[in-house]
């Protein structure tokens, strides 16, 4: 849409459309010729404007998204003879560096079995971006000109359309009713387009007389779930086949609801058979309630697909099905260029105001569309490419060299063809003192090594500048996907075991021979499984704080699920309290420091994330320590997002560790941030006492009850770790004890929030340091004693679920 037309609301759907001019730097506006269409103007208005790309090979939209969130992405193409040539084009569509699909508008049968939108061709995919930026690119592949009519992105719940790898490319979305009209927004809140499909010779339509409960995660429209098809004739099976030439895996989402009031002697029960394999036995749709059955087996259709619902012997009613969605699993193997390299390069681009037609989309990949003037490393698709040098010569650049480049003593380049560049402030005021830069980039083949070194200095300088104001550990910048073979190499074939938990075994590893890592491998018998594996990746790829364990990478290859963390060489807090890691117990100052840092990490999850996060498994074994005894929270497999606004809790199944589990949450299933506060209070009691949380041999088995029982005479020595005698300030220990007792209140309303806890612990730590002499003990620069909600000027608020 032309930029000056701003936006408008489409009358038939109520959807608001806005101009794409702010999201792409190339292309021209066109307009379809409505006289060449078979339908009226009111229906084509959302797509009457289009953008076509007569120049360049790859033209890309750059969109800001939330990393780790699933999006329904829809691209619409309505040719409408906009150019008067009556020549429908063929071109390719890319998601970032990966091929999405070929748009072939010359194929008259392209829309058979596909989602329809009048005369338009529609491509739809459910995709989870791996960064906060997403490029959608149109690539010219022949003599015709690429174009696009509309581009739509809608965030979805992350527990709906999920895959272990890749994204879900829509093949079809059917509503099995005798209705003649398709269903979309506003009936469907996500504007999924449901095409009606009904085999009149084989099926009978049934309708609900009362509303159906549609509160499941898929938000199914009432217009879809309140109608269903059932086979004609007693004892017959329900079946639907379709043609589908695909080399990708096929995933199905079957949407059911029992929409008839069944009598006491009536049952509807059937088996679900997909391509001759039974996936579900004895299934019964819930009465007047939407239920979705996903089929995510690694099935491919050899030209023909077949879905059957076969009535069981005990069933008195024939099978029924309300709706079906069919997706192909599209693998996206090529990772985007290293995020820090791209950011640094775009900063250079913005500083100089450089505009080149090829500088759209990912700078390095695919290799055939690499930006001109760049060289990149592209060794493995599973490792983000790196920019290894660039050529900015002959760009007629003027003005002052950006400060972050000018400070580099070796940057005596970028001059050939750029005679007006200088590094002196007088440039900006028109002064004559212009420090000319001396050497051209890429002056000759012999200079390649020097140029590479200089660009690396640029990138390293940029990273150093970032790290000075950013609390995230530097190791996080290297997080990426690994193959299982790479995991075996880094662990020396799983030679050294560090520990074992509910997820699986943790091994020691070495990355690039100079960086130690902890490699957590999912056990095949693990009760946690893929859901917790995915939850931990989703959280740690988005949430960064100095007191949260950094995720280096992960492996998701078939049944091999692996998490790779920064290596915490000093084990966990529990080991230090029980003297497993060291012959000398932790001092009171170090215990306070660990408590304060862990509290900061937890406070960050509660108020620094949008939406806030609840850890759900705070315990001393999940507080890890590095070689400086710096504390970081780990194990985020049970973490959940927390409601904002007027809601005060989220209702969920109880999860956590006995002894640390909030009794109110355990009783009501109501999870709040105060559930983490309870668990943290138990950890504080461990820090003071070095006692086990549950010990059946004590007069009171739980540590909270034991502390209360032992404090009846008011002597803190009755509960204090004996090793702390003479090594503590009585005032600070009493404050921590009082704080711990308030944290483990039986009701959440009686507990402080984590900001209050963090502030109290910081005051206690400062008091202890002051007692021992500020001159002798300065605060470790890695341990913040400033207000813990300050994340640094360049720390972005994470978009956590």
Q: Residues forming the annotated binding site for ATP?
A: 520
Cβ neighbors of 322 (< 8 A, separation 6 or more) are 175, 176, 224, 225, 227, 228, 229, 255, 256, 257, 259
State how far the Cα of 783 lies from the Cα of 600, in Å rounded to an integer: 10
556 burial type by CB count under 10 A (0-12 exposed, 13-18 middle, 19+ buried) = buried
Residues 132 and 797: beta-carbon distance below 8 Å: no
Rama region for 790: left / alpha / beta (φ>0; ψ in -120 to 50; rest)? beta
Q: How many helices (H) and strands (E) does the chain have?
A: 14, 39
Characterize the bridge pairing of strands 71-77 and 150-155.
Answer: antiparallel
Evaluate the omega torsion of the peptide bond into residue 52 and state whether it is cis, within 30 degrees of 0.
no
Angle formed by the axes of helices 448-467 and 339-352, nearest 10°: 100
Helices (H), 220-353: 222-225, 339-352
Structural Rg of the chain based on CA atoms: 31
Q: Name 239's bridge partners.
A: 308
Contacts of 22 (CB under 8 A, 6+ apart): 3
Chain length of the chain: 801
Residues making up the binding site: 520
Which of these, 272, 267, 255, lies nearest to 309 by C-alpha position? 272
Distance of alpha carbon 81 from alpha carbon 380, whole angstroms: 43
772's enclosing H/E stretch is helix 754-772
- Beta carbons of 148 and 75 less than 8 angstroms apart: yes
For residue 331, give every residue at least 6 positions away whose Cβ sits within 8 Å of its Cβ, in sequence order, or none.
165, 166, 248
User: Omega of the bond prior to 378 within 30 degrees of 0, cis?
Assistant: no
Is residue 617 flagged as an active site residue? yes
Percentages of the chain per state (helix, strand, coil), in multiples of 5: 25, 25, 50
Closest CA to 326 of 422, 194, 456, 452: 194
The DSSP code for 400 is E
Report the DSSP beta bridge partners of residue 508. 518
How many Å apart are CA 229 and CA 323, to the nearest integer? Answer: 9
CA distance 93 to 322: 32
d(CA 232, CA 236): 7
Residue 238 burial by Cβ neighbours in a 10 Å radius (0-12, 13-18, 19+): buried
Find residue 229's DSSP bridge partners: 205, 321
CB-count exposure of residue 431 (10 Å: 0-12, 13-18, 19+): exposed
Q: How far is Cα 603 from Cα 546, in angstroms, rounded to an integer? A: 12
**Per-residue exposure over 686-702, b if at least 16 CB sit within 10 Å of its own CB, e if not:** bbbbbbbbeeeeeeeeb
Q: Are the beta carbons of 519 and 564 closer than 8 angstroms?
A: yes
Question: For residues 769 and 779, is the Cβ–Cβ distance under 8 A?
Answer: yes
Catalytic residue among 135, 197, 362, 617: 617
Helix H, strand E, coil C: the string for 442-471 is CCCHHHHHHHHHHHHHHHHHHHHHHHCCCC
Q: Which residues are catalytic?
A: 617
């Amino acid at each position: 849409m032309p930029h000056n037309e701003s936006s408008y609301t489409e009358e038939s759907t109520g959807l608001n459309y806005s101009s794409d001019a702010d999201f792409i730097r190339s292309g021209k506006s066109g307009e379809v010729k409505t006289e060449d269409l078979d339908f009226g103007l009111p229906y084509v208005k959302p797509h009457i404007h289009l953008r076509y790309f007569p120049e360049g090979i790859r033209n890309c939209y750059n969109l800001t998204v939330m990393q780790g969130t699933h999006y329904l992405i829809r691209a619409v193409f309505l040719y409408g003879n906009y150019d008067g040539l009556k020549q429908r084009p063929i071109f390719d569509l890319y998601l970032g560096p990966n091929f999405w699909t070929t748009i072939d508008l010359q194929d008259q049968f392209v829309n058979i079995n596909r989602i329809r939108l009048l005369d338009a061709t529609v491509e739809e995919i459910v995709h989870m971006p791996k960064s906060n930026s997403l490029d959608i690119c149109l690539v010219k592949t022949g003599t015709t000109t690429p174009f696009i009519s509309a581009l739509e992105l809608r965030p979805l719940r992350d527990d709906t359309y999920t895959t272990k790898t890749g994204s879900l490319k829509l093949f079809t979305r059917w509503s099995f009713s005798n209705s003649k009209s398709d269903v979309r927004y506003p009936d469907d809140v996500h504007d999924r387009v449901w095409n009606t499909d009904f085999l009149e010779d084989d099926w009978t339509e049934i309708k609900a007389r009362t509303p159906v409960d549609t509160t499941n995660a898929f938000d199914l429209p009432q217009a879809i779930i309140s109608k269903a098809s059932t086979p004609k004739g007693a004892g017959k099976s329900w079946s639907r086949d379709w043609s589908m030439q695909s080399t990708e895996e096929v995933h199905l989402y079957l949407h059911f609801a029992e929409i008839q009031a069944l009598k006491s002697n009536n049952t509807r029960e059937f088996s679900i058979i997909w391509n001759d394999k039974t996936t579900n036995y004895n299934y019964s749709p819930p009465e007047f309630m939407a239920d979705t059955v996903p089929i995510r087996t690694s099935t491919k259709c050899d030209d023909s697909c077949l879905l059957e619902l076969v009535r069981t012997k005990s069933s008195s009613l024939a099978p029924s099905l309300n709706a079906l969605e069919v997706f192909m699993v599209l693998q996206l193997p090529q990772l985007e260029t290293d995020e820090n390299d791209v950011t640094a390069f775009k900063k250079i681009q913005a500083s100089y105001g450089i505009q080149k037609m090829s500088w759209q989309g990912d700078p390095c990949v695919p290799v055939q569309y690499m930006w001109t003037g760049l060289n990149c490393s592209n060794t493995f698709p599973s490792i983000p490419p790196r920019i290894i040098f660039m050529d900015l010569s002959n760009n007629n650049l003027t003005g002052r060299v950006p400060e972050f480049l000018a400070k580099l003593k070796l940057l005596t380049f970028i001059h050939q063809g750029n005679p007006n560049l200088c590094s002196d402030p007088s440039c900006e005021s028109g002064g004559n003192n212009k420090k000319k830069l001396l050497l051209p980039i890429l002056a000759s083949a012999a200079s390649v090594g020097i140029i590479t070194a200089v660009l690396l200095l640029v990138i390293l300088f940029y990273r150093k500048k970032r790290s000075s104001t950013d609390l995230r550990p530097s190791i996080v910048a290297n997080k990426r996907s690994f193959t299982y073979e790479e995991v075996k190499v880094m662990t020396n074939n799983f030679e050294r075991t560090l520990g074992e938990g509910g997820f699986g075994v943790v091994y020691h590893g070495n990355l690039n021979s100079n960086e130690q890592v902890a490699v957590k491998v999912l056990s095949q018998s693990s009760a946690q499984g893929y859901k917790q594996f995915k939850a931990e990746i989703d959280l740690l790829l988005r949430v960064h704080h100095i007191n949260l364990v950094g995720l280096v990478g992960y492996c998701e290859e078939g049944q091999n699920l692996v998490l790779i963390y920064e290596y915490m060489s000093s084990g966990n807090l529990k080991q230090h309290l029980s003297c497993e890691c060291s012959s000398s117990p932790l001092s009171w100052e170090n215990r306070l420091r660990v408590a304060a840092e862990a509290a900061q990490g937890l406070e960050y999850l509660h108020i620094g994330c949008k939406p806030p996060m609840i850890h759900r498994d705070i315990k001393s074994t999940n507080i890890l320590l590095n070689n400086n005894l710096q504390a970081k929270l780990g194990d985020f497999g049970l973490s959940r997002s927390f409601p904002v606004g007027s809601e005060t809790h989220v209702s969920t199944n109880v999860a956590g560790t006995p002894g640390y589990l909030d009794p109110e949450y355990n009783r009501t299933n109501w999870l709040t941030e105060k559930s983490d506060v309870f668990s943290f209070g138990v950890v504080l009691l461990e820090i003071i006492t070095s006692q086990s949380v549950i010990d059946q041999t004590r007069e009171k088995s739980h540590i909270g009850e034991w502390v209360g029982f032992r404090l009846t005479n008011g002597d803190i020595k009755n509960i204090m770790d004996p090793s702390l005698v003479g090594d503590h300030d009585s005032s600070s220990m009493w404050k921590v004890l009082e704080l711990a007792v308030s944290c483990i209140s039986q009701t959440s309303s009686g507990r402080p929030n984590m900001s209050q806890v963090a502030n109290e612990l910081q005051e206690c730590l400062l008091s202890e340091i002051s007692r021992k002499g500020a001159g002798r003990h300065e605060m470790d620069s890695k341990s913040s004693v400033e207000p813990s909600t300050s994340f640094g000027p360049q720390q972005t608020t994470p978009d956590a679920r």
